[in-house]
Amino acid sequence: MRKIRTLAAAGVAAATLMLGVVAASPASAAQTCTTWHDGATFGISCSQLDGYRYVQAVAHCDNGNTVVGARAVVGNGSWSYAYCSSVNAGLSSWEAWGSN
């Protein structure tokens, strides 16, 4: 499983985010993802993600815990959500993992 580096502060308002291409990926790699977050939750859905079949939301919580969402299929409109509320915390930062 390779991480897609997409860390951002929870205070940043971002309804739609184009994920940056990881240095090891070819320049032609396609990444089209939409993200959502509030004070305790991060979600992601991708229509394309560097040839990966699945994407997972990863929430870094303000109490030091990391929560990983269920895998969502890339290209079918499904979402992955990671909930810091499940560990009684707020959202500090987030990222996404792609996998096959």
Residue reference for tokens 């308002």: 13
For 65, residues 6+ apart whose C-beta sits below 8 A from its C-beta are 84, 87, 89
What pTM value is reported for the model?
Answer: 0.73
Cβ atoms 46, 55 nearer than 8 A: yes
Q: Is residue 25 part of a domain?
A: no
Q: Where in the sequence is the domain holding 7, given as residue range(s)?
A: 2-19+30-99
The tens digit of pLDDT for each residue in 1-40 reads: 445 434 333 333 332 233 332 333 344 468 999 999 999 9
Count of domains observed in the chain: 1
Mind giving me the DSSP string for 56-100? EEEEEETTS-EEEPPPEETTTT--EEEEGGGGT--EEEEEEEEE-
DSSP label of 19: P
Ramachandran angles phi, psi of 87, nearest 5°? -120, 25
Q: Is residue 40 part of a domain?
A: yes
